[in-house]
Amino acid sequence: MLQLQNYIQGQLVPPTAGRYLPNIEPATGQVFSQIPESDAQDVALAVQAAEAALPAWRQLPAEERGQLLVRISELITRDLEPLAQAESQDNGKPVSLARTVDIPRAASNFAFFGTAAQHFASETHFQEGVALNYTVRHPLGVVGCISPWNLPLYLFTWKIAPALAAGCCVVAKPSEITPYTAFLLSKLCIEAGLPAGVLNIVHGTGPAAGQAIIEHPTIKAISFTGGTKTGEHIARTAAPLFKKLSLELGGKNPNIIFADCDLAEAVRTSLRSSFANQGQICLCGSRIFVERPIYEQFKQEFLAGVASLTVGDPQEEASRQGALVSEAHLQKVLSYIELAHQEGGRLLAGGQRVQVPGRCAGGYFLQPTVFEGLAPDCRVNLEEIFGPVVTLTPFDSEEEVLTWANGTEYGLAATIWTRDLNRAHRVAHALHSGIVWINTWLHRDLRTPFGGMKNSGVGREGGLEALRFFTEPQSITVKL
């Protein structure tokens, strides 16, 4: 059976305690690999390796660091197909999605930050006849990057690439639920000639390996993406150690559809924003608010689209919905479907586990599910479900829908559908949401700030925000 290894000091190594965890393929429910169950000892070795590599790495010209990152990007692109297959096997997502979104975006992350490092500049503040103040941005040092299971390689590289570009050395931990592509990445880093210790990948659980990273006194910053509860725990642990924190957390995103929108486009994109990756994208719009004059028409067309989403083996091209990531997560999502019934919701589509015949008989499949008739402030409409479950709610005014849209503890992403430009801007400005899409969804420009307001996070990733996060400004003043 495939046995993954840690990547420490440029080598693939077993965990020091020799313990492994089973890794399950969600589409079959079968164990297909073993992953290192690393602990504080492995993290300490990784930190040592990163510290030893730091002086040479931070002094390397940005152009040379960038060339290595671009080389890694090229290798990811070369291996697009095996990486997409691995991501699909590990996560349960359709291979077609991994091929068109996850893996190309992982390659883009390295290419983008590989070149961004050369464009990164700092400020000068000139005081006429008095002084010249200039700012130098030093790499923070050794940093920790911890990522979730939903977009495994994509979100892992979204942190690692800017950290390396900024001149930091990294100790990174992928989710223990989806570690496979991070392991394949470590092989590509060796092939690319990344100097030993610059990037170290430690596999294992959050409470053991993850906890050791957030507690380690040498680690200067934690870049974390995952659940809000975990983020809270990380903040509580790392803040007294004065670590810099970037926390990208949960969401409960509104999708607001005004009567003057391009309905066909709104329906098509809302199907994606509801159910892409089985609804397991932090940016999915799980609360769909539709202006009353088009509510019934939207509902009919949307439900027709839902009926066409084939649930099946993620390896098959025709499958539009793969498996949920784990049995535990499937049970959590099913418990919210039960809650939606209890809270008075009318089931319009789905709601049941799916038995896919053949090799996938033991897989964690669920029908895409739609409810209506739920109060905007019921638990189903306030709590993050993170699965293929959406609610439809009619609204009568801009004011009303803004109150509902802003009425959760989250503020990650929102989508607005309208042809009225003034309204689009007005509503966008009034939304308490770190990201707003108008007449589109999941459109990404890697230069824009990425992250959430309220309990959806602290700080922003992307572009210069990420390079600023991984560096420490120093102000130097020269008296004239």
Per CB under 6 A, residues contacting ligand NAD are 146-150, 155, 173, 175-176, 205-207, 210-211, 214, 225-227, 230, 233-234, 248-251, 282, 384, 386, 412, 452, 456-457
Q: Which is nearer to ligand NAD, 207 or 217 (CB)?
A: 207
Task: Pick between residue 86 and residue 222 the one whose CB is nearest to ligand NAD.
Answer: 222
CA quadruple 341, 345, 347, 349: dihedral sign: negative
Residue 450 C-beta: closest distance to ligand NAD, Å: 7
> Minimum distance between the CB of residue 224 and ligand NAD, rounded to whole angstroms?
7
- Name the minimum Å distance from CB 462 to ligand NAD: 10
User: Are 201 and 183 spatial neighbours (Cβ–Cβ below 8 Å)?
Assistant: yes
Say how far apart CA 438 and CA 416 lie, in whole Å. Answer: 5
- N- to C-terminal Cα separation, the chain: 68
CB-CB neighbours of 174 under 10 Å: 28
Question: What positions carry a catalytic annotation?
Answer: 248, 282
Q: Nearest distance from residue 314's CB to ligand NAD, in Å?
A: 19
CB 5 within 8 A of CB 14: yes
| CA-closest candidate to residue 286, choices 309, 246, 253, 262 | 253
Which residues are within 8 A (CB) of 454 and not within 5 positions of it... i.e. 6 or more apart? 409, 410, 411, 432
Taking the least distance from each CB to ligand NAD, the nearer of 68 and 172 is 172
Q: Which is nearer to ligand NAD, 225 or 391 (CB)?
A: 225
Instruction: Give just the sign of the alpha carbon dihedral 90, 93, 95, 99.
Output: negative
The C-alpha atoms of residue 290 and residue 376 are separated, in whole angstroms, by 13
Tokens of 6: 């840690």
Q: What is the nearest approach in angstroms of ligand NAD to the Cβ of residue 220?
A: 16
State the residue number with the nearest CB to ligand NAD: 206
Judge whether 3 and 20 are in contact, CB under 8 Å.
Answer: yes
337 or 348: CB nearest ligand NAD: 337
